[in-house]
């Protein structure tokens, strides 16, 4: 039986403050304007300055928190580098801001390309591809009509412009930061090519959103790649990390509290999605439904408008996974995809 999860640091730092979690490694927390109301970032100290791991969104409150931190616990060293684990706005949002002040940007190539492309792609209204994606998932027609006339989420609203130029992070690369050698291990599923950092000299792991405690990282299918199978990528990443994980690793995650018990957590992350797939199989065996129609099966809470988009893309991720495995089929009715169990092998009934 694997060791359970434990939380050595019970109290997170206030915005603008820091907690030392290891020599030359500080934990900071920045506000987010959503139900998950924070993101963790880390500052690694070297002689030439700080390396910041992730940055928070580009927002007034975030910049104020950074100003307080740079004047307080980070005073005495310049920001030499920013290391971004993946392209989501709460992690890359202020990378360009720090770059404009002279910091080097370290980031996976895929993450930089996504972030750069999305910040340049500003849409005042949802495009036809996004509307088709929502309609195909079975979004309520009234909600779809309302959202068709509203400004959609744009990266540029909360991510500072990213200038050309970055230093690529690659699988297996060894970085020398905070007096340690860190090996880069890439994860996938929540975001393509997400960097995690594993210290080769002690028991620290910087996990980003790939190694969260207690909450599940969103695994979603978006209009940018509607046929993707990110759940397969996520499960493969968890299983790939398992041989590397030790119960006494101190994991520094992108959200919630630093923790130990990584093998247990990786096992739970796999099991939770396998359980969800089993529930989905049973539901589809009873008859066809849309992606939105699976919310009650996949999630243990009511889905309000604030979580609707994340629930929709995660439902599609689970359905696409079964589609890629040949376990389900779908048919389009007036632009809406209806999903149902595939005939058993040897069944010539078609459908």
Burial, 17: exposed, middle or buried (Cβ in 10 Å; 0-12, 13-18, 19+)? middle
- Report the number of distinct structural domains present in the chain: 2
Among 218, 244, 271, which residue terminates a domain? Answer: 271
| CATH code of 116's domain | 3.60.15.10
Nearest to 118 by CA among 207, 192, 61, 52: 192
What is the C-alpha separation between 325 and 317, in angstroms, rounded? 12
Cα 229 from Cα 321, distance rounded (Å): 5
Q: Write out the residue range of the structural domain in which residue 110 sits.
A: 19-124+154-271
Mean pLDDT per block of 10 residues along the chain (351 residues) reads 87 97 98 93 97 98 97 94 98 98 97 97 96 97 96 96 96 98 98 98 98 94 96 98 97 98 97 97 96 94 89 98 97 96 62 30
The residue out of 216, 247, 271 marking a domain boundary is 271
Q: Alpha-carbon torsion 177, 193, 264, 212, what sign?
A: positive
Same domain, 101 and 218: yes
Q: Is residue 158 part of a domain?
A: yes
Question: What global pTM score does this model have?
Answer: 0.95
| 197 shares its domain with 83 | yes
Start-end of H helices in the chain: 60-71, 89-92, 95-100, 109-120, 128-136, 141-148, 230-241, 262-285, 295-298, 305-324
pLDDT value at residue 349: 34
Instruction: Give the residue from 244, 271, 298 where a domain finishes.
Output: 271
Return all residues near 240 (Cβ < 8 A) that are at least 6 apart.
none
For residues 226 and 331, membership in a common domain is answered with no
Same domain (yes/no): 318, 175: no
The per-residue pLDDT for 100 is: 96
Is residue 165 included in any domain, yes or no?
yes
Asked if residue 210 and residue 265 are part of one domain, the reply reads yes
Are 186 and 218 within one domain? yes
Tell me, yes or no, whether 134 lies in a domain: no
Residue 1 confidence (pLDDT):
56
From CA 95, how far away is CA 88, in angstroms rounded?
A: 11
- Phi first, then psi, for residue 205 (nearest 5°) are -135, 125
User: What is the pLDDT, as a whole number, of residue 76?
Assistant: 81
- Nearest of 17, 36, 50, 37 to residue 217 by alpha carbon: 36
pLDDT at 277: 98
In a domain, 278, yes or no: no
Assess if residue 144 is contained within a domain: no
């Amino acid at each position: 039986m694997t060791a359970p999860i434990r939380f050595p640091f019970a109290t997170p730092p206030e915005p603008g403050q820091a907690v030392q979690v290891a020599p030359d490694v500080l934990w900071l927390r920045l506000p987010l304007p959503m139900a998950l109301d924070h993101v963790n970032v880390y500052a690694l100290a070297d002689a030439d300055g700080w390396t910041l791991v992730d940055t928070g969104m580009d927002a007034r409150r975030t910049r104020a928190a950074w100003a307080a931190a740079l004047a307080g616990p980070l005073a005495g060293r310049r920001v030499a580098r920013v290391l971004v684990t993946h392209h989501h706005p709460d992690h890359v949002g202020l990378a360009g801001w720090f770059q404009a002040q002279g910091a080097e940007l370290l980031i996976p190539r895929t993450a930089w390309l996504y972030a750069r492309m999305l910040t340049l792609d500003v849409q005042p209204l949802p495009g036809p591809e996004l509307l088709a994606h929502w309609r195909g998932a079975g979004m309520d027609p009234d909600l779809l009509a309302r959202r068709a006339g509203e400004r959609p989420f744009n990266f540029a609203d909360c991510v500072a412009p990213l200038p050309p130029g970055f230093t690529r992070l690659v699988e297996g690369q060894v970085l020398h930061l905070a007096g340690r050698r860190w090996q880069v291990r890439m994860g996938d599923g929540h975001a393509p090519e997400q960097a995690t950092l594993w210290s080769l000299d002690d028991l620290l792991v910087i996990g980003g959103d790939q190694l969260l405690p207690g909450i599940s990282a969103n695994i979603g299918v978006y209009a940018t790649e509607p046929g993707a199978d990110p759940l397969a990528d996520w499960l493969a990443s968890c299983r790939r990390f398992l041989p590397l994980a030790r119960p006494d690793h101190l994991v520094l995650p992108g959200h919630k509290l630093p923790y130990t018990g990584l093998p247990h957590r990786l096992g739970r992350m796999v099991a939770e999605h396998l359980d969800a797939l089993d529930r989905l199989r049973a539901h589809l065996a009873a008859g066809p439904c849309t992606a939105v129609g699976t919310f009650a099966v996949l999630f243990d809470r009511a889905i309000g408008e604030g979580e609707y988009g994340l629930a929709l893309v995660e439902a599609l991720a689970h359905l696409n996974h079964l589609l890629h495995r040949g376990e389900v089929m779908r048919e389009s009715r007036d632009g809406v995809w209806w999903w149902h169990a595939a005939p058993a092998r040897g069944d010539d009934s078609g459908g």
